[in-house]
Structure 1
Amino acid sequence: MISLEYTNKDLKNWCDIIENGAKKLGLDFYPQEFEIVDYKDMIGYEAYLGMPSRYPHWSFGKSYDKADSLYKYNISGLPYEMVINSNPCLAYLMKDNTLLLQILTMAHVYGHNDFFKNNRLFKEGTRAAYTIEMFKNHADMVREYVNDPSIGYEEVEKILNAAHAIRFQFNRTIGMGKTEEESKEDIIAFIINHGELEEWQKNILNVVRKESQYFIPQVETKIMNEGWASYWHYKILNYLELPSSLHLEFIKRHNDVIAPLMGTINPYYLGFKMFQDLEKRYGADKIFEVRSIERDESFIRRYLTEDLCSEMNLFEYIKKNDDYVIKEISDDSGWTEIRNTLCNTCGANMIPNIVVDQISKKDGALVLNHLYEGRELNSAYTEATLKHIYDLWKYPVELNTTIDKDKIKVCCREDKKISYTTLR
């Protein structure tokens, strides 16, 4: 029988056992802190992407209301845990979880903690010791502007809306060489340095930019990070030789976490299977090396094999007219295409890459280039984003892109009307 009857002392004892087991198995992690929360708190932390404090913005409230409604109507559940890349590492546990689920979740968190401390994207791209402090300071600063009678919420919201529209438009290759295009200043930094903004507006743009940079390693390593944590909760709990009263639920919960999903990729499943395969083929030292240096794209390109594709029954499908049809299957000729598609659509590759080209001498227009790699921009999002950039730049904004294989210039001018011009 599954029981919810346990005390905080029980959790503390299990946490000590798990931590000792994780150390003996070779994990290297920050000091770990856990907080027990109810479902409303968990929804709140989920809306804030795990942070105890964030600046005020309607998008966070929207995320909270959506998650709350889905949970109340039993359409979706809540995450077993939320864990923050910070030093000490902070994680939240749902108080209504069963004892076994808390044990599994704590073991899972130690896997994330190890990944945060040792993967190069987190080591080079974030400052874990200052995470909580940074987000709190940012929240306090933005609230001061909101409460300032000369600024107010509407003006702050306008800047935040624009910043959110372009927050991931900067170099995303942490610790790696950049192409000539990628070496150019990112859009937010360019507008801060060359635009006509007041100091408080620049400060808000810097807040969004810094927080977005903090989240980039998580975007770039979703499959690896979740796979690593799943691999280690499985390894640790097997190492601990759980009593029979807990073992059956452990197997069920683990299988729930890594279950394949219909029509999409479960990052827990793909990452877990790949790390298992790496250890089987190369040994334990290899998985620690891979954990330290790779990101999702390189991880998949180097270590997703034909045998794994076949074992997981991976296939690629596309929309054709009103139906979906299978494009590739995991056979001798198709598995590399499946691997390449995964590489091209994981991490920051899901986000169009837009870079600054120049300021037009003619009318002060900000000229942007879309680094086209075969996927066209969504027109509605493109037009809305250009209008947001105009709010920041205050002069015309031009975007060079590709539509139906033609070079197209999309312009947003003073009246915020959008025009399209085919370039010859």
Structure 2
Amino acid sequence: MTDYTLAELAAWNEKIESKVREFGLDSYEQHFEICSYEDMLCYEAYVGMPSHYPHWSFGKAYERQKTFYQYNLSGLPYEMVINSDPCLAYLMRDNTLLLQILTMAHVYGHNDFFKNNRLFKRDTRAELTLEMFKAHADRVRAYVDDPSIGPEKVEHILDAAHALKFQVSRTGAGEPCSRRTLEQEKAEAVPGRIRHDLLAFLGEKGRLDDWERDLVNIVHAESLYFIPQIETKIMNEGWASYWHYQILKQLELPQGLYLEFLQRHNLVIRPHQQQLNPYFVGFKLFEYLDKTLGRERIMAIRAEDRDQSFIRRYLNQEMCREMNLFAYDTEDDYIVVSEVADDAGWKAVRDQLANSVGMGGIPAISPQEVDKGDLILEHDFEGRELELEYAQETIKYVARLWGGGVKIRTKLDGKDKVIACNQYQEIIIT
């Protein structure tokens, strides 16, 4: 049983929209859908999309989340919001009235961020989001239903593409090449256009049938859609949390709802043990910047930055100390504090955080050349070694899509090394 009616919820939404306009937020038209916790589990497994192609990994994610939820090992998201135009968000039916009000205000913060941040404006087409995912789902299901292809072959390619889904361009889809440039590229083993986009390279140059190539390109397109969300997690959640806080303070909530609001808000932005809470860091930074730089400036920051630049530019010693941030390292399998936010160490704390956010924690692997049929890859080594077990499994997936031998140049224990996978899926390290 809920403690509200849909009419009450609609009335509160109108009040929230009025405050959104007063504060100068600029959002897409907003649609809400009320769903059960089972539906929310499904949406979470399928990354929020009402239509998505089938793959065993989504079912695995659903069963895992369902088990964790049933045994109280994890909760469910209060809401889920999609970068689309109109913007679509799901609210869980079991939420209290106050929690629905808070999450609706939170959603408008995300909506404004999606519409105005440069990464989303440059690299996604919000008005085509739902159509894109539905078209992808229809094509994948058609291949599954095709008697000459079938589910096992489709899964074989999708498994490999999923393993490489973050090996895409970190600067967006880029501009299409001219006809003259494409003609020149025919002579290039690795065109400069896709030199920093391994999945796009494999989709274009791999020894694949047309339907296989299409599957790789589907995963590539969806990966590019999600990259801005990965690159702005702290900013996006911090912005939404900051605005739900500002909006609810001015909604003239009844006393009982106001007390629940303070409790819920503090639960959302509280620091977490042994991990970084992006809501906490983003909220504290936007709150500080609004007080010191002003409303106009934070509007510009939400439009211009991604997490890495946001942290480097605006996380100062005062905020490092207030949030009790520190840098850490590993010694003999133990995690040890390496720097604290004092005069000598706060910049190291800031830099370690900036280097770890967004795509910073994912190794960048780029195609370099083709040598006697073997694809030569380069690991962009920045002091962090590849996890050898994962690297060996990943190179097998690259070889599957390439259709031949693959080698990765990297560093292990301070020495130049090559991890190779031959046509028989055998791994050799030299």
TM-score of the pair, normalised by structure 2: 0.94
Q: Match for 2:71: what amino acid? A: Y
2:52 to 51, 54, 67: 54
Question: What is the aligned partner in structure 1 of residue 309 from structure 2?
Answer: 298
1:333-352 aligned at under 5 Å gives the runs 333-352=344-363
Question: What is the aligned partner in structure 2 of residue 104 from structure 1?
Answer: 102
Write out per-residue CA displacement over residues 227-251 of structure 1, whole angstroms, 9 at most, x where no aligned residue: 0000000000012121212100000
1:210 to 221, 225, 233: 221
Deviation (angstroms), 1:318? 2.5
1:118 to 104, 116, 119: 116
Output the CA distance in 2 between the equivalents of 1:23 and 1:37.
27
With over 3 angstroms needed to count, the CA separation of the structure-2 counterparts of 1:396 and 1:156, relative to structure 1, is same
Segments of structure 2 that go 5 or more residues without pairing to the other structure are: 176-190
Bigger Cα displacement from structure 2, 325-334 vs 3-12: 3-12
**2:90 matches 1:92:** yes
Contact 1:181 1:355 in 2 (8 A): no
With over 3 angstroms needed to count, the CA separation of the structure-2 counterparts of 1:145 and 1:420, relative to structure 1, is same
Deviation (angstroms), 1:383? 0.8
Partner SS, residue 207 of structure 2 = coil
Partner SS, residue 77 of structure 2 = coil
Partner SS, residue 120 of structure 2 = helix
Deviation (angstroms), 1:54? 1.0
Output the CA distance in 2 between the equivalents of 1:387 and 1:24.
54
Deviation (angstroms), 1:4? 3.5
Deviation (angstroms), 1:317? 2.4
**2:228 matches 1:250:** no
Question: What is the aligned partner in structure 2 of residue 190 from structure 1?
Answer: 201
Output the CA distance in 2 between the equivalents of 1:335 and 1:175.
35
Output the CA distance in 1 between the equivalents of 2:324 and 2:130.
41
Contact 2:143 2:150 in 1 (8 A): yes
Contact 2:208 2:403 in 1 (8 A): no
2:388 to 379, 383, 386: 379
1:406 to 415, 422, 426: 415
Output the CA distance in 2 between the equivalents of 1:397 and 1:9.
60
1:276-295 aligned at under 5 Å gives the runs 276-295=287-306
Q: Match for 1:383: what amino acid? A: Q
TM-score of the pair, normalised by structure 1: 0.95
Contact 1:221 1:295 in 2 (8 A): yes
Partner SS, residue 369 of structure 1 = strand
Output the CA distance in 2 between the equivalents of 1:14 and 1:190.
49
Output the CA distance in 2 between the equivalents of 1:210 and 1:120.
18
Partner SS, residue 401 of structure 1 = strand
Question: What is the aligned partner in structure 2 of residue 392 from structure 1?
Answer: 401
Partner SS, residue 310 of structure 1 = helix
Question: What is the aligned partner in structure 1 of residue 180 from structure 2?
Answer: none
Question: What is the aligned partner in structure 1 of residue 13 from structure 2?
Answer: 15
**2:418 matches 1:420:** no
Output the CA distance in 2 between the equivalents of 1:130 and 1:176.
18
Partner SS, residue 366 of structure 1 = strand
Write out per-residue CA displacement over residues 102-152 of structure 1, whole angstroms, 9 at most, x where no aligned residue: 000000000000000000000001000000010011001000100111000
Deviation (angstroms), 1:407? 0.7
Write out per-residue CA displacement over residues 369-393 of structure 1, whole angstroms, 9 at most, x where no aligned residue: 0000000111111111111111111
Output the CA distance in 2 between the equivalents of 1:335 and 1:42.
40
Output the CA distance in 2 between the equivalents of 1:396 and 1:176.
29
Contact 1:170 1:355 in 2 (8 A): no
Question: What is the aligned partner in structure 2 of residue 68 from structure 1?
Answer: 66
Question: What is the aligned partner in structure 2 of residue 235 from structure 1?
Answer: 246
Partner SS, residue 215 of structure 1 = helix
Q: Match for 2:260: what amino acid? A: E
1:271 to 282, 293, 303: 282
Output the CA distance in 2 between the equivalents of 1:222 and 1:322.
29
Q: Match for 1:351: what amino acid? A: I
Write out per-residue CA displacement over residues 381-414 of structure 1, whole angstroms, 9 at most, x where no aligned residue: 1111111111111110011011011111110002
Q: Match for 1:298: what amino acid? A: S
Output the CA distance in 2 between the equivalents of 1:376 and 1:123.
34
Contact 2:168 2:198 in 1 (8 A): yes
Identity of aligned residues (%): 54
Aligned length: 415
Deviation (angstroms), 1:38? 0.5
Deviation (angstroms), 1:322? 4.1
Output the CA distance in 2 between the equivalents of 1:168 and 1:131.
19
**2:365 matches 1:367:** no
With over 3 angstroms needed to count, the CA separation of the structure-2 counterparts of 1:343 and 1:12, relative to structure 1, is same
Question: What is the aligned partner in structure 1 of residue 153 from structure 2?
Answer: 155
**2:365 matches 1:354:** yes
